[in-house]
Structure 1
Amino acid sequence: MLRLFALAAVCCLWLAACIPPTSTSLSERLIAPGGASPLLEHARVEALLARLPTRSGMAEGADGVQLFWRALDPGNYQLDYRYAGNPQGSALQQVAFDVHFQRPTEPVAPRGTVVLLHGWMMDGDSLMPWALQLAQAGYRTISLDLRNHGRSGHGPAGYGTREAQDVARVVRTLRAQGEVSGPLYLFGVSYGAATASFAAERLGPEVQGVVVMESFANAGRGIRDMVPHMLSSRPDTLKATAMTLYARLVYARQDLDAVIAAADARLALDLDKVDVRQALHDTPSCVLVLHGQADQHIPVAHGRLLAQASSRTHYLEVPGETHLSLPMRLDRLGATVDDWLARSGDPGHCPAPLPVGPAPAASALASR
């Protein structure tokens, strides 16, 4: 069983995880991730990836930043995915899922390529279940480690803007090498969803469709919504309790406007003008926006704003799902995403997605 110990699902680790003892500035957490995510059992993920027929390498992004990529070819993986659930919807409650698969015995020509973009303090390997889901649906998947994450190099964060420049350069490099084959789709989660939106705008007609899962609509607004929520979270383990109490002591009295202004100055970026909605308005691609109705890290109001970006944008609000749980719900979202990608080839006739069904009963998974 693969377990996620959710301190804040993707972006929440800005506040609690890997805080240097000497750091008293919340703006430092907004500027750089500050460490590797403890959300995933990395040894377990690496063991699963070792069984998959993947290829990987490095490619140059913007400003010379080196980006790590991993490709998985389509095939019949006989995927069996089970979600164990987070019944209380807590940001600090353990969530578990189980995934089983077989190596394909016969090669399959890709119907297109999906580039997968992860969230803050995660890496491309964290989207391994989606890589399998989409590979089984016939797509080659390429997961990227964004700048400042995973095996990739370092450079100023852009809250999706600079990262989109990286994605565009890497996509064009990999297409020249034959790794990007057929129609191109982008799939992003949280910080990666903002990146996918800006990358689609930059790549223009090269992108057929974009899946935007739980993105902020505006970076400054997202930070102002997320930080108070994370500081008020109730942890359920001793370690999480200690980390949360420390975050409250260090950060609770800091003025968010001043914090954001300090981050702006360090990044040479105006976070209040990092506008994902405008990027989606300007992209010619079909767009599917997904947001959990119970998301309190990046509240559902952000998804509803993105839904209004253009007539090419379709929106699904998923009842009962949080910022942590939504990316894990392949059981609810897999068929909808597969079907939407298959029908999103014509930007003049962007398809409405299939409705998402009720949540299946969570499986009781035994620990390994």
Structure 2
Amino acid sequence: MLRSLALAGVCVMLAGFAFSHPVPSLSLSERLAAPGGTSPLVPTERIDALLARVPHHQGRVSGADGVALHWMSFDPGDYRMDYRYLGKGERFPEFSLQASAPTTHGQPARGTVILLHGWMMDGGSLLPWALELAQQGYRTVALDLRNHGRSGHAPSGYGTREADDVVAALKALKAEGQIEGPVHLLGVSYGAATAIFAARELGPQLRSVVAMESFDNAGQAIRTMVPHMLSKPAERWSDYVALPLARWQYGGKGLDQAIAAADRKLGLDLDRVDVGQALAQVPACVLLVHGRQDEHIPVAQGRALAAAAPRAHYLEVEGEDHLTLPMRLDRLSGVVNDWFADAGEHGHCPTPQPLG
């Protein structure tokens, strides 16, 4: 059973910054340039225990710039998956997940779904979606992005350089026989932005995309999320010291200075990482999903993405925030399954039904 696994990658840009991460010595600019570890919300031991019971393939391929990328795939089949969303606990939403070896073997895949995780998460954090879609007949491949999980380290690109990795990984995985049928992307948060940039590069090689809670512009996302995180009340004794210090240091011009320092480290202008501009150039069908109560990446950014690309479809989910939305397989699996089944057929992009 897996519990307390926040699929969203808590705080897309800041998860684990200083007061909530075991490496407090890293500055905000260093944290923005590279995650510096895996979120403690990822229950690695329990994921590994479940994977020991569920057949899968894994390996490494080379991404852009030669960075090593770890992947994990699941064949289509009935994994007897039991997933339950348990609601919000004391601090974070919780769910339970159980699965076992599939009861069917060797069935042809309806297609392949590449899954892309959030900041400070890894491919294992999307295990519920990987198994859900495998049960629907897809081969699913969960990729660890650069600087995450078991993949190698290279300059972060806030979706741009990671998209080049996805393109390279897809080519290598095809050569290894891991790709079957039409290809789809499912990304969450940082992985959603990556999926959109990758979709632009892949062009007609891709059938469709589901992008959950993507930011519209990297610099703007940092400027909205950091103040939101710093407004949180202290939860541990150490927070009573760290929080006021961080609020003083990164209030006002301090945040702009941290972003500028991250720009220099990355050789990248974060204010020019424009996901909406990329989305407008994607030929594949794209479904954008955003929680109306999202305060980490406010819903206004999801709406801005939708406005930038009239061909994309936008689904706004009442009652869900940045942490809960990707965990709501009970609400979203039907929408996602229908989307992948119907999107791209004869150039048609279906209109998803609003959720109640």
Alignment of 1:248-287 (within 5 A): 248=247, 251-252=250-251, 255-287=254-286
Shift of 1:131: 0.3
SS in 2 for 1:187: strand
- Structure 1 contact 18–34 (Cα < 8 Å) conserved: no
Quickly say closer, same or farther: Cα 1:44–1:352, change in 2 above 3 A.
same
* 1:218 equivalent in structure 2: 217
Structure 2: distance between partners of 1:73 and 1:5: 23
Write the deviation string for residues 56-86 of structure 1: whole angstroms up to 9, x where unpaired.
Answer: 0000001110000000011112222111112
Matched, 1:84 2:86: yes
Q: Percent identity among equivalent residues?
A: 57
Q: Note the C-alpha offset of 1:350.
A: 0.8
Deviation per CA, 1:251-298: give whole Å up to 9, x if none.
446622222111111111111110111111101000000000000000
1:2 match: secondary structure:
coil
Instruction: Give me the whole-angstrom Cα distance separating, in 1, the residues matched to 2:336 and 2:242.
Output: 36
Q: What is the RMSD of the two structures over their aligned residues, measured on CA atoms?
A: 2.1
Task: Give me the whole-angstrom Cα distance separating, in 2, the residues matched to 1:111 and 1:5.
Answer: 28
Letter in 2 for 1:258: Q
**2-side partners of 1:29 and 1:333: how far apart?**
31
- 1:66 maps to which of 68, 85, 92: 68
The aligned residue for residue 355 of structure 2 is 356
In the alignment, the residues of structure 1 paired with residue 84 and residue 161 of structure 2 have an alpha-carbon distance, to the nearest angstrom, of 35
State the TM-score, normalized to the length of structure 1.
0.90
* TM-score, structure 2 normalization: 0.93
Deviation at 1:112, TM superposition (A): 0.3
Whole-angstrom CA distance in 1 between matches of 2:204 and 2:225:
33
How far did residue 19 of structure 1 move? 6.0
Instruction: Please tell me whether residue 105 in structure 1 is matched to residue 103 in structure 2.
Output: yes
SS at match of 1:68: strand
Looking at structure 2, the residues matched to 56 and 243 of structure 1 have their Cα atoms a distance apart, in angstroms, of: 40
Q: Encode CA deviations 1:187-221: one digit per residue, 9 max, x unaligned.
A: 00000000000000011110100011001000011
CA deviation after TM superposition for structure 1 residue 166, in Å:
0.5
Equivalent-residue separation in structure 2 for 1:35 and 1:245 (angstroms): 24
Amino acid at match of 2:78: N
The residue aligned with 1:130 is 129
CA shift in 2, pair 1:242/1:257, >3 Å: closer
Alignment check: 8 A CA contact 1:93 1:236 kept: no
Q: Which of 24, 32, 36 is residue 34 of structure 2 equivalent to?
A: 32
CA drift at 1:236: 4.4
Question: How far has the Cα of 1:250 moved from its partner?
Answer: 5.1
Q: Aligned pair in 2 of structure 1 residues 85, 238: CA closer, same or farther (>3 Å)? A: farther
CA distance in 1, matches of 2:22, 2:49: 28
CA distance in 1, matches of 2:42, 2:233: 20
Report if the CA contact (8 A) 1:118-1:192 is conserved: yes
| Unaligned ranges ≥5, structure 1 | 358-368
What is the one-letter code of the residue matched to 1:30? L
Asked if the contact 1:147–1:153 (Cα under 8 Å) also holds between the matched residues in 2, the reply is yes
CA-CA distance at 1:21 after TM superposition? 4.5
Aligned to 2:55: 53
Take 2:346 and 2:149, find their aligned partners in 1: how far apart are those partners? 34
Q: Relative to 1, partners in 2 of residues 1:301 and 1:253: Cα closer, same or farther, differing over 3 Å? A: closer
